[in-house]
Chain A
């Protein structure tokens, strides 16, 4: 067990090193000169001398591998470098953005899980009944709507027509409501479908027939069905967390939520490489860690699955 875990962690570190190298390489090959971009944005007259001095200061003239190694050792120590845009350290910027995005992502995830878990069970148990049909239509519609459209519709109805929320929200609880709902609706649609399928697969297992044949009460049967579905559900949710953390850019931009997605979009426009690279490394780490955690959890829940 411990040997397997060490092997897994080693594999994980290897993946992250490869990821960081690829990111660094992509940024290196990407067109555009951050030094020039920075000078232009500051209104400095760009001469070759000034440009070279700026490149030297930003460390852009060193060989590729030296720059990569320096950056990587910095990252390991928690130092993601200094932003090209405003000379501020990157780590606090990313952490603040990450905190805000996590609040948004986790809130919408929890709401989605609670709703889709309940609807999934009802839908699977009452297969082809009225409730199942209604739930499936809801799932289909909400899954088909892109979240930015839901965001715009929510803004129109809740902010303009009903005046329940301000159009430009602050980063508080009230401001959290609409982005969370916009993210949660399509996600719930997807989860309901997946959970319904999993619960239905479990309900048609022989052990359910066996339990029914022994006269085991419905609530115990449901408990067993849910217990056996958890591994699969964790995997679905784990995959979704990665998508959520990186994919809420549009929603963050629409609602002006100061999350990591918005920060990165601004950084891409400004060619602020340290921020972009830091973002990719942090997201990659979160994604890989969550998936590893989900694998371990799956093994704990169903010892038949191999670690």
Chain B
């Protein structure tokens, strides 16, 4: 496969003084969809938060290279500029992307201004349409606390698509969505990957979804990547006990 967009080497990370990642080695290849699958508490979200340099997580050891450059060598301000347009992030909490008591429009404008681009209402409307958000002008005038979880999540996804990053991290983004919306969101992610060559790292506990979306799958268990490989290999020939158990528990996947 092509060149690496992200290389994670021997990563040890603590969250609230407790070591949650204990020696992660993982590469993300340009243009792929990588699904990180694991149970709650396995450290999937912490891994993403480490990459976006969330202040709540503490890097103990190891390195993360973005296009070969160590991310800790970036000045904070420079790294902040990369986030959004180069490295995108959509978090699990559907209301988490925006300030709950300010209008969506004001926050979209702030985002655009932060990256020195003008706010293009038509472009946003097109993105929102594809995500099944119909009344753009009404949504823009609303505050997130007035919107449902599913709507908020799709607006957060729209914000990421709007900025069109090279590498997009999605942390359980379909957990607040109903099945049909979740499917359309996944289709949009695939389209984004195909049209824009966006590399997508998707965290999920849903192996079924991962098997449909991913080029590669990494299985996380108790703070470690216990297995990784091409999707079909992982599904056909799982090595680790935890992966075997996961496969047994997903209805309809045993026959693959």
* Residue positions of A touching B, CB distance < 8 A: 204, 206-207, 209-218, 220, 224, 227-228, 301-304
**Residues on the A chain within 8 Å of B145, using CB:** 303-304
**Partner pick for A220 among B77, B96, B114, CB 8 A cutoff:** B114
Alpha-carbon gap, A205 to B52, bound state (A)? 16
- Which residues 155-214 of B sit at the A interface, judged by CB distance below 8 A? 156, 159-160, 163
Q: Which of A213, A218, A227, A303 is the one whose CB lies under 8 Å from B89?
A: A213
Could you tell me if B99 and A211 are in contact, using CB atoms closer than 8 angstroms?
A: yes
List chain A residues, Cβ under 8 A from B99.
207, 211, 224, 227-228
Is the pair A215, B115 in contact by a Cβ cutoff of 8 Å?
A: yes
Whether B159 and A207, one on each chain, are in contact in the complex, defined by CB atoms closer than 8 angstroms, is no
Chain B residues contacting A206 (CB-CB under 8 Å) are 91, 93, 95-97
Collect the chain B residues with CB atoms within 8 Å of residue A218's CB: 77, 80
Across the two chains, which residue of chain A brings its CB closest to B100? A207
Name which residue of chain A comes closest to B52, CB basis: A213
CB distance from A20 to the nearest CB of B (A): 38
Which residues does chain A contribute within 8 Å of B97, judged by CB atoms? 206-207, 210-211, 213-214
> CA A218 – CA B53 in complex, angstroms?
14
**Contacts A210-B98, A213-B84, A303-B143 known; A220 to B89 CB distance under 8 Å?**
no
Known: A210-B156, A304-B145. A227 touches B100 (CB 8 A): no
Give the residues in chain B near A301, CB-CB below 8 Å. 101
Could you tell me the dominant secondary structure of chain A's interface residues?
helix
Closest A residue, CB atoms, query B156: A210
Contact of B54 among A212, A220, A227 (CB under 8 A): A212
Asked if B91 and A215 make an inter-chain contact with CB atoms under 8 angstroms apart, the answer reads no
A213 in contact with B80 given A220-B114, A228-B99, A304-B100 (CB within 8 Å): no
* Across-interface contacts of B84 in A (CB, < 8 A): 213-216
Check B91 against A213 for contact (C-beta < 8 Å): yes
Q: Which residues of B contact A303 (CB under 8 A)?
A: 101, 143, 145
Instruction: Assess the A204–B82 pair: CB atoms within 8 A.
Output: no
Q: Find A215's partner among B101, B107, B114, B156 (CB 8 Å cutoff).
A: B114
B200 to chain A, nearest CB (A): 15
Given contacts A220-B110, A304-B100, contact A212 B52 (CB under 8 A): yes
Q: Which residue of B lies closest to A215 (CB)?
A: B84
